A and B are shown apart, each in its own frame.
Chain A
Amino acid sequence: MIDAKNPKEPITPAKARCLAYWYAQGFDQKEATQHAFPRNTPTGGHASRLLEWAEEQEILRTSIDPAQYSQEELRRVRETVHHGPCISLEDALKNLSAGTLQSV
């Protein structure tokens, strides 16, 4: 079982993407961690390593660049890095725009 409070917990790419997303929203590391993992918040050390990994992988840069992903991969990445309401809002607005809107 994953122990998010353990600073030595191995890096989980999905978690790192999720945390990187919130960090990129302009929140500081602590706030971003609380947003990303409200129920089982990692410690500062683990959160730092997740962010370092995300930076190394250029998650912030690649997660929204359609040119670097196949459609399926893009969908998977975006679902990983976005929280639910944002994805559903984007989908709803896309439908309402009859396909004109491509990203929120």
Chain B
Amino acid sequence: MESWIKPLVTGLRGSRLTLHGVREHLRTSESGVVAVTFGATVGAVCRSVVRDAVGNPIRLTSGAKVIVIPTMGDPLGNFDQQRANTSSAIAESLSHAFADAAPPPSLNGVWPVLPLAIPDDRVEAFRDGLWRKHSGYAAVFGAAANSQDALIGKSDIILSSAGFFHSPYWEHYGNADVDQTALAQRDEIRDLAEGDIAGVLVRKSELTDPQADRFESIMRHWMGIDIKEIKRVAQQSAEAGLGAPAGCVLCCIGHKAEIVKHLICVERVVNHLPCDQELLAELSRLVSKPA
């Protein structure tokens, strides 16, 4: 086992319990479309699920064939240091855990954001002209806007993590392929957003009008999953109740209580929270603190 994975996996709230829990969540997909995001925690969890499935692959309770899809292209920040934890790499890896899975589409080479130098009103033209011609992007997000065939619209489980720009890989909202001078820097993002889920920035509730415009502009340039999709998956799972597809499974460890609580209580996009003792303790303190 890679040395840095072990602390992550054993650090999660009960390695066996958590991994079995994630495995059971994955089994509940009815559509067979499972979405995975990017990052070290999700990567470690998925690789552990795959190891656990050797000789005992996951079969969906619905009997459907599975397709695991990435939710964004290349990762934000330094690509070389995150090669194993891109959304496409994790999707490819997780596919091996299932007894019956179609090859996952790849979003390798797709920029996480467009350069901000591209004006807001030109973004969709760039998306159509550039990424919707990319077979993987077209499969996941549709060959045309509002395409009924987009796999992301059929997903009923999203395996994700969350953050608050803590990663050393995130100095700005973009990566080396995108002109760094034109990007939002970490400090600005911190002023505008509570944190992120799956790379999608979570807007602070109280922004000035110029800040709100700036936030909208940044998110218009984001090429990955839309927050509306995450909300749809979470709400459908919550409304369907017990035995429904697991919805949004947020795997988190460490000092992320603020953003996790925000995602649970304000955005309401979390159906299941596999976490470690540290986060559990922080959440306890935060929830019991008088408002």
Residue interface bits B15-26, CB-to-A below 8 A is 1, else 0: 111001100100
Cα distance A67–B16 in the bound complex, in angstroms: 19
CB distance from B20 to the nearest CB of A (A): 6
- Please tell me if A65 contacts chain B, counting CB pairs below 8 Å: yes
Contacting pair B17 A103 (CB below 8 A)? no
Chain B residues with CB under 8 A of A38: none
| A14 at interface by CB-CB < 8 Å | no
Quick one: which of B266-291 are within 8 Å of A by CB? 268-273, 275, 277, 280, 283-284, 287-288
Number of residues from A at the complex interface, CB < 8 A = 26
Please indicate the chain B residues that have their CB under 8 angstroms from the CB of A21 in the complex.
14, 17
Within 8 A of B (CB), among A48-94: 60-61, 63-67, 71, 85-86, 89, 92-93
| Residue among A89, A99, A104 with most chain B CB within 10 A | A104
Measured CB to CB, the nearest residue on chain B to A86 is: B280
The answer, yes or no, to whether B264 is at the interface (CB within 8 Å) is yes
Q: Is the CB of B264 within 8 A of A101?
A: yes
Nearest A residue to B27 by beta-carbon distance? Answer: A67
Q: Is the CB of B272 within 8 A of A102?
A: yes
Chain A residues near B284 (CB-CB < 8 A): 85, 89
**Which stretch of B30-38, B178-186, B199-207, B234-242 is in the interface?**
B234-242
CA of A93 to CA of B14, assembled, Å: 20
A103–B280 CB distance below 8 A: no
Nearest 4 Cβ contacts at the A-B interface? A24-B17, A24-B14, A96-B265, A100-B268
| Residue contacts A-B, CB under 8 angstroms, 18 given | A25-B17, A60-B17, A64-B17, A66-B243, A67-B61, A67-B243, A89-B280, A89-B284, A93-B261, A93-B283, A96-B265, A97-B270, A98-B268, A100-B268, A100-B269, A101-B270, A101-B272, A103-B273
Contacts A64-B17, A100-B235 known; 13 new A-B pairs at CB < 8 A: A25-B17, A66-B243, A71-B242, A86-B280, A89-B287, A93-B265, A93-B287, A96-B261, A96-B287, A100-B264, A101-B272, A102-B247, A104-B280
